[in-house]
Amino acid sequence: MSTYHYYFRDDYSEGCHPNILKALQETALSQQIGYGNDDYSAEAKNLIKQLLPGHEADIHFVSGGTQANLIVIAAALRSYESVVSAQTGHINGHEGGAIEASGHRVEAITTIDGKLRVAQLSPLLTQLDVVGSTQPKMVYISNTTELGTVYSKAELAALSEFCRAQGWYLYLDGARLPAALTAPGNDLTLADVAELTDAFYIGGTKNGALLGEAIVITNPELKTGFKHYLKQKGAMLAKGRVLGLQFRELFRDNLIFDLAAHANARALAMVAAIESLGYTFMVPPASNQLFPVLPEPIIQELAKTYLFHRWQAVDERHTAIRLVTSWATPAAACDRFIDDLEQLTQTYQR
């Protein structure tokens, strides 16, 4: 009995897509082997692998993004090795110290738009072989980033080239990878991501699943013993079928990408209207996360009927808020928000 018109707070406010519920119902009494060795997980892996021709990928399903990140990083790094991340990277400030709790330093780099560039990585080379310094060994990026921005193929290729030259791993957090791959102007494919990184994960939680992320490992060095890490970190579900079945549905007939395209379209449809009201964005809108900069009084009014995050104060009177659309966001909710913003703008500008 929410008192809000709509939650633009995140892309995990709803339950799951109907196809998933239908599949859960149809398979409820089928007996399956546990711990990921079920038929549905096998089917899901096959569907994903069809998008990665020529790659020998190991695929593992886990229940959440922090879990995916901490296990991949812990499995990849020796205790003195560190992972490089944008300051805004999810692992740097949004996972409760999960990476440090695994024993690894996050080397945080300030960026303008959440994207890491090669020029920012070079200074880390001075740490190499210095015994008092942690030894960078992995670069962590998110696509879309935590600011909704999207890597181009050229940008990802440049990072990949740098990492390979150093013998570092490139790991991509794909909690919103479907949104990135369906963003306007994107020139990356899932196969490109597999080609240019050593490991990545594809988010289910933020793309229509009840829960679940699919970790894809292409670098053989990172494959060894991965199931043991999963078990040891409490990430191996007895009913692994629950994760496999959902990814089977999401990757059947491109569903996951259709859902992401929907979310992107909903958000980007609001951009022109917001700009026409005279507002700017903290970062250029590119996917299903928008960061409009609004005056404080208007934010306070909007907050009475919409749920969203205050992201960052821009100046004394303006703050960037975050609006997120999901696979389930109806056009009507967006229209209503734009109408309300228009009205508030008129009220407060007088």
- Residues in 310-349 that interact with a second copy by CB under 8 A: 328
202 touches a second copy (CB under 8 A): no
The reply to whether 95 sits near a second copy by the rule CB under 8 A is: yes
Q: Which listed residue (47, 118, 157, 211) binds a second copy by CB under 8 A?
A: 211
The DSSP bridge partners found for residue 142 are: 173
Nearer to a second copy, 70 or 214 (CB): 70
Minimum CB distance to a second copy smaller for 272 or for 313: 313
Q: Report the site for a second copy in 44-83 (rule: CB under 8 A).
A: 63-71, 74-75, 78-80, 82
Query: Among 123, 184, 234, 284, which residue interacts with a second copy (rule: CB under 8 A)?
Result: 234
Q: Are 92 and 108 in contact (CB under 8 A)?
A: yes
- Output the smallest distance, CB 188 to a second copy, in A: 24
Give CA separation, 276 vs 148, 183, 245, 308, in Å.
Answer: 21, 22, 44, 21
- The sign of the CA dihedral 146, 271, 211, 58 is negative
* Local structure of 290: helix, strand or coil: strand
- Which residues pair with residue 136 across a beta bridge? 82
Q: Which of residues 238-297 bind a second copy (CB under 8 A)?
A: 238-239, 241-242
Site stretch for a second copy (CB under 8 A), options 133-141, 193-201, 295-303, 337-345: 133-141
Residues 266 and 329: beta-carbon distance below 8 Å: yes
Long-range pairs of 223-226 with CB within 8 A, sequence gap ≥ 24:
223/58, 225/75, 226/58, 226/60, 226/71, 226/75
Minimum separation from the CB atom of position 245 to a second copy (A): 8
User: Which residues from 166-195 bind a second copy, rule CB under 8 A?
Assistant: none
C-beta closer to a second copy: residue 59 or 194: 59
